[in-house]
Structures are given as structure tokens and as C-alpha cells.
Amino acid sequence: MKKFDPTQMSYFTGTEKYYRISRRHLLTDGTNYLAEKAGCFWMMDAIASHLSEIGTAH
């Protein structure tokens, strides 16, 4: 795991590139930075799985 610096998060406004984590879900520059530096891709996967559940609920 690389060192996570929370002060860097304030530099992410908008995004220049999207990072695919599943067929239906993307990360922005900021969320990808968080996932890589804090080692929390597991959290992004968990969020994506819950978003998928919400998207199919009627």
C-alpha cells in the first residue's frame, strides 16, 4: 500500500479520466486515488455492489 495523504483529496475537483471497476461502474480520479493510496478497492467494490442492488429494486 502506498502512503495515503488525505490533504490531497482537496485537489480532486472533476475528473480527467475514469477507471472501470466493473461492467457498470467507474471510479473518478479522486476515488481511484483513494482506492490505490489507502488500499480500499474492497470498499469501492462494496459500494458498486450496493449500487447495483439499488438500481434493480422496484
Nine-digit cell at 1?
Answer: 500500500
Model confidence pLDDT, tens digit, residues 4-38: 899 999 999 999 999 999 888 999 999 999 999 99
Q: What is the pLDDT of residue 22?
A: 87
For every residue of the chain, DSSP letters joined together read: -PPP-GGGGGG--S-S--EESSSS-EE-HHHHHHHHHHT-HHHHHHHHHHHHHHHH--
User: Which one-letter amino acid corresponds to residue 58?
Assistant: H
Model confidence pLDDT, tens digit, residues 38-49: 999 999 999 998
Residue 55 has pLDDT above 70, yes or no: no
Per-domain boundaries in the chain: 18-56
Residue 3 has pLDDT above 90, yes or no: no
Nine-digit cell at 52?
Answer: 447495483
Q: What is the pLDDT of residue 17?
A: 96
pTM of the model: 0.78
CA 16 to chain centre: 14
